[in-house]
Structure 1
Amino acid sequence: MHRPPTAATDRAAELAALRPGLADAVTAELPGARAAVLTRLWRALAYEPLPWITRRAAAGDALTLYLADGRRLGGPAADPYATDAYVEEVRLGGTVYDDPARLMTDLAVPHGTAFAIELAHSVSSLALSRAGRTGDAESSAREWPTTDWEWEQRVVDGHPFHPNCRSRPGFSAAEELAYGPEHRPVVRLRAVAVEAGECRVSGEWPDDLRDGTALLLPVHPWQARHVLRRTTADLTDAHPLMSLRTLALPGGPHVKTALSARLTSSVRDISVASVTGSAALSAFAETVAERTDGLLHVTRTLGAATADSPDLAAVLRESPQAYVTPGSGERVLPVAALATTGLPASPVWLASFARLALTVGLRLLELGVALEAHGQNLLVVLSARGEPLRLVYRDLADLRISPARLARHGARAPEVAPRMLTDDVTTLRRKLFGALVAGALAGTAGSRAALGAAMAAAASDLPHTGDLVPLLHEDVPAKALTLMRLSPGTPGDQWTRLPNPLS
């Protein structure tokens, strides 16, 4: 049985010096973390168009992958929508592997060595994230948070289907504990003072983030330490949200900071174009949301500013808490946090949620707006009894907008970056179905059987648009997350197709 690579050993040594009481807990979590990442990797090997896999053969509860070099890789039958860690080991040739990083190293495929390092980091970081949270699952199902940031911090495992679910290259264990939302820290934001004439601003920049003629741009402390070469000053305490770089200000809005680190797949900065177009895009999204009969709200972008650099920029966004009826007992939480409530275990509840989410997604897609409605961007408002009432969407930068579809409904596309505009039906459906079905709904359901049952129960009530038949009967598009990490020279998203859960 292959043991963890040096990333786990190095992390253990760092923790032994930093937090001796936590080191043993992290070591105990390593087997579960390896299985969780291996399960995500096995999904990719089973379904993504990886060029060095020539054939796949399923027989009963087993799956065999035939590699281009003649070797065979065997493991359990793969459920593309499963979230539980069900893959504890696979066999390559005559060798058994329980460690995804060691497996990727020994597969010896192009760019596999670099990806193996990321997988090792994902395992060690996931073990760190899980350590110290024993008992939280039981208590969190009983006690619901009252603040938006507490809901965000209940998501411990990160992306439900990405092998790099907790990969944060460039972060030490001390920095993960200090900044990772799952560790529930309070983060002291920094600020850089930039003369207003040197900044591009969209929307309104608040007075309390000004100093005379200068704008105070909030900066994540990791960014201040590792990237910026400018003087920073203390700004305020804040609570990190799921994306790590977005934080809830005390009693105020959420602030998205530039954080030039690779988190999961992408380097997280804030482009100048996304800042300059943010006000127009926010106003457009508000107008579009009004066409959903109150089923969807969009968090408004209050202001955005950049010092003409993606490394020094910030976006102020309305808190989703604004869409909870005061005194009603309602809660608003990211879809990714639903698993911590125990609600998805009910097939009736899951069908109700699927009906709400698919109805909103199809209505907007017909109108000409494809939401990237994954478990982080999409939030749900629950009644005091836990019923799904309506949705909230945030982070508009990755929408896809169809000018032709909008025109058919008497609307015009906003002035946004050209990459956001397309009339290509494949691109539009990939954006929505890949995020909503293969992401948010699958991550909530936790298995192909549960997802299929929920969609079947909701199907007769969904809007009869031109996109309904592909949704119900065609394979589901999903980002080929591992292929993308193994193709560093190929820009943009790459895709695969998963079996429709209704088939």
Structure 2
Amino acid sequence: MHRLPTAEAEIGEELAVVRPGLVPRYARELPGARAAVLTRLWRALAHEPLPWIGGRERARDALVLRLSDGRVLEGPPADPYATDAYVTAVRLDGGVHDDPARLTAALAVPHGGALAAELAHSAASLALSRADRPASGGGPVPPQEWPGRDWEWEQRVVDGHPFHPNCRSRPGFSVAEQLAYGPEHRPVVELRLLPVVARECLVTGEWPRELRDGERLLMPVHPWQAEHVLKRPGEGDRLAAHPLMSLRTLALPDGPHVKTALSARLTSSVRDISVGSVAASAVLSAFAQDLAARTGGLLHLTRTLGAATAHSPDLAALWRESPQEYVRPGERVLPVAALPGTGLPGSPAWLAGFTRLALTAGLGLLELGVALEAHGQNLLVVLSPSGAPLRLVYRDLADIRVSPARLARHGIAVPALPERNLTDDPTALRRKLFGSLVAGALAGAAGSGPALGAALEAALPDLPRTADVRALREEPLPVKALTLMRLSPGRSGDIWTELPRPGATGL
């Protein structure tokens, strides 16, 4: 019998106390959750520049990895763009491993112990998320049953990041807290409104009047943050909101979204809000409106209405437009990550049309000098009542890259942005857009390398033949080495690798 790893057992024990009715479903979901995380891990082992892998080769219908210590790791051929859980077990020196955490521990690589713990938590949390799906399941929803509110779409994305092994890792969250705050569990979250002296804060844009109390600002704070980081769990009035995919951004009943600081590591990053992000938010928002006007209506960029910080990344919030502001009667707007739940990408013609729309908008902005981080969470699509992709909405500008030289060529003034947002390096610009849009949003929608490759081949001939388009057509696809980054705790910044072009023969 498969003995439960500690994380699985602990979550099962907590669940038996707070939601005993979910325990049988949680147990049934564990094998599939392990396979989903193992598939993501196998992608990394097959394609990332991990220093302890000495060689990779195809042997019959298998991929063989030769480790630097002489051991051999064997599994199925790896499609780096596949989103189904096709890896149920791999063999390490003849021993079968069906659990990603146990496999990582057995590899015994530097910093692997910490990653193994994260993977165990990711698989267990994913099983919990799947166990709490509505009785109707997670299959495609016909247009007549599509949700009418943006946050309802976001709560349908159960599995998290389609390619990161830490897709559901939420260290520091109890089972009760996951159920109370995770969007896939469909809760209503009561934000805390903590009073802060206004003159002691940095405020940009227009802070909402209803969040002012005389000389004080009422700062929206996530309840997890209030309890675990600020140690002020019982303070402040309440503001009910619906959590979105990022967990720390929530939709208010009257429309606006509020992004809160959450000093917890979700997937790879700690989700606090830097003082620099607050300082740059108004400039970025104004710049975005100028950019949107240059896309011919293909792309809207949501505005940051106001931002504030008590000069601490742990106590800050951004007040943003809802993407719902950019839809007309009968239309729907949803994150690209939610598209598989519609069934639409299963049509090659639909996927090609959507790919053409996304590349036209993204590459058009790149030519002007702006590389969006257009992954499936940041990029949303507006659908007609019949499901046709009409236009795009992009949110969260904090991590875009801007080329002063390209802007100047097009007569666009360079905004006063932080240095980290500015670069003229074409490799850095293409990595930002291609890694998020093509290897992220479009790959997640397509679900496989062949489907993505066919969509790109159908869409690319219609695009202007710029140097960026040539690079996308002819060069390997850049992508973040997500697992190597988790195994490199002493190294800051992103680590990149390259994937074979979608549809090409890979490992």
When normalised by structure 2's length, the TM-score is: 0.97
Q: Which residue of 2 aligns with 1:21?
A: 21
Give per-residue Cα distances to partners, 1:243-297, cap 9 Å, x unaligned: 0000001113000000000000000000001001100110001101111110000
1:61-72 matched pairs, under 5 angstroms: 61-72=61-72
Q: Shift in Å at residue 77 of structure 1?
A: 0.1
Distance 1:218 1:274 in 2: 17
Structure 1 residue 235: deviation in Å? Answer: 2.4
3-state SS, counterpart of residue 140 of structure 1: coil
Residue type of the alignment partner of 1:98: D
The C-alpha deviation readout for 1:326-348, integer Å capped at 9, x for no partner, is x2x11000000000000000000
Distance 2:352 2:201 in 1: 47
Question: Which deviates more, 463-472 or 133-142?
Answer: 133-142
Pair 1:404 & 2:413 matched: no
Counterpart in the other structure of 1:257: 260
| Residue 309 of structure 2: aligned partner | 306
Amino acid at match of 1:66: R
State the match for 2:324 in structure 1. Answer: 321
**Contact in 2 for aligned 1:2/1:97 (Cα 8 Å):** no
Partner in structure 1 of residue 129 of structure 2:
129
> CA separation in 2, counterparts of 1:55 and 1:122?
28
- How far residue 232 of structure 1 moved from its aligned partner, in angstroms, is 2.6
| 1:116 match | 116
Residue of structure 2 in register with 1:453 after alignment: 454
**Structure 1, residues 330-376: CA drift from partner, whole Å, max 9, x if none?**
10000000000000000000000000001111111110000000000
Question: Cα 1:232–1:416, aligned 2, differ >3 Å: closer, same or farther?
Answer: farther
The aligned amino acid for 1:268 is R
Instruction: Pick the aligned partner of 1:184 from 183, 186, 209.
Output: 186
What count of residue pairs does the alignment treat as equivalent?
501
Q: Partners of 1:96 and 1:65 in 2: how far apart?
A: 15
Within 5 Å, give how 1:142-291 maps onto structure 2: 143-230=145-232, 232-291=235-294
Separation of aligned partners in 1, 2:30 and 2:78 = 22
1:502 deviates by: 4.7
Moved more, 18-27 or 439-448: 18-27
Q: Residue 496 of structure 2 corresponds to which residue in structure 1? A: 495
For 1:138 and 1:433, locate their aligned partners in 2 and report how far apart those are by CA, in whole Å. Answer: 29
AA matched with 2:66: Y
Q: Does 1:51 align with 2:51?
A: yes
- How far has the Cα of 1:489 moved from its partner? 0.4
Paired amino acid for 1:41: L
Tell me the secondary structure at the aligned position of residue 96 of structure 2. Answer: strand
Amino acid aligned to 1:107:
L
Letter matched to residue 449 of structure 1: P
In the TM superposition, what is the alpha-carbon distance from 1:69 to its structure 2 partner?
0.6
Counterpart selection for 1:297 from 300, 307, 310: 300
How many percent identity over aligned positions? Answer: 72
Runs of 4+ aligned structure 1 residues displaced above 4 Å come to: none
Q: Secondary structure at the match of 2:15?
A: helix
Change (3 A) 1:128 1:103: same
Give secondary structure in 1 for the equivalent of 2:56: strand
- 2:357 and 2:91 map into 1 onto residues whose CA distance is 42
Deviations 1:55-108 (A, max 9, x none): 000123210000011000000000000000000000000210000000000100
Does structure 2 retain, via aligned residues, the 8 Å contact 1:362–1:465? no
Counterparts of 1:215 and 1:487 in 2: how far apart (Å)?
Answer: 39
Is 1:223–1:260's contact at 8 Å kept on the other side of the alignment? yes
| Cα distance in structure 1, aligned partners of 2:89 and 2:320 | 43
Give the counterpart letter for 1:135 in structure 2. S
Counterpart amino acid of residue 480 in structure 1: A
SS at match of 1:64: strand
Work out the CA distance in 1 between the residues paired with 2:335 and 2:24: 31
Helix, strand or coil at the partner of 1:356: helix
- Residue by residue over 1:223-249, the C-alpha shift from the partner in whole angstroms, topping out at 9 and shown as x without a partner, is 000000447312211000000000001
Amino acid at match of 1:436: L
Structure 2 gap ranges (5+)? none
CA distance in 2, matches of 1:452, 1:331: 27
2:255 alignment partner AA:
G
Instruction: Kindly report which structure 2 residues correspond to 1:477-496, keeping only aligned pairs within 5 A, or say none.
Output: 477-496=478-497
Structure 2 matches for 1:341-420, cutoff 5 A?
Answer: 341-420=342-421
Whether the 8 Å CA contact 1:373–1:440 is kept in 2: the answer is: yes
Quote the Cα distance in structure 1 between the aligned partners of 2:67 and 2:347.
41
**Retained in 1: the 8 A contact 2:157–2:184?**
yes
1:341 maps to a residue whose letter is T
Task: Show the counterpart of 1:443.
Answer: 444
Shift of 1:141: 3.9
SS at match of 1:344: helix
Which residue pairs with 2:42 in the alignment?
Answer: 42
1:81 matched to 2:81: yes
Of 403-412 and 141-150, the range deviating more from structure 2: 141-150
Structure 1 residue 3, shift from structure 2 partner: 4.0
In structure 1, C-alpha distance between the alignment counterparts of 2:489 and 2:142, rounded to whole Å: 41
Paired letter, 1:330: E
Counterpart residue identity of residue 235, structure 2: T
Code of the aligned partner of 1:250: P
Contact kept? 2:140, 2:340, Cα under 8 Å? no
Can you list the C-alpha shifts for 1:411-468, whole angstroms capped at 9, x where unaligned?
1221111100000111000000000110000000000000000011111111222201
For the 8 Å contact 1:362–1:463, the answer to whether it is kept is no
For 2:208, the aligned partner's letter is P
- Counterpart Cα distance in 1 of 2:257 and 2:137: 25
One-letter amino acid of the structure 1 residue matched with residue 324 of structure 2 = Q
Q: Secondary structure at the match of 1:406?
A: helix
Shift of 1:2: 5.6
Q: Quote the Cα distance in structure 1 between the aligned partners of 2:317 and 2:71.
A: 49
Q: Is contact 1:324–1:331 with CA below 8 Å preserved after alignment?
A: yes
Letter in 1 for 2:435: G
Q: In structure 1, how many angstroms separate the alpha carbons of the residues matched to 2:140 and 2:46?
A: 36
Match of 1:99 in 2: 99
Contact 2:194–2:237 (CA under 8 A) maintained in structure 1:
no
Alpha-carbon separation, structure 2, partners of 1:6 and 1:108: 18
**3-state SS of paired residue (1:471):** helix
Q: Whole-Å Cα distance in 2 between the matches of residues 312 and 247 of structure 1?
A: 16
Cα 1:502–1:140 shift into 2, 3 Å: closer
CA–CA distance in structure 2, aligned partners of residues 138 and 67 of structure 1: 39
Q: 8 Å contact 1:372–1:399 — kept in the other structure? A: yes
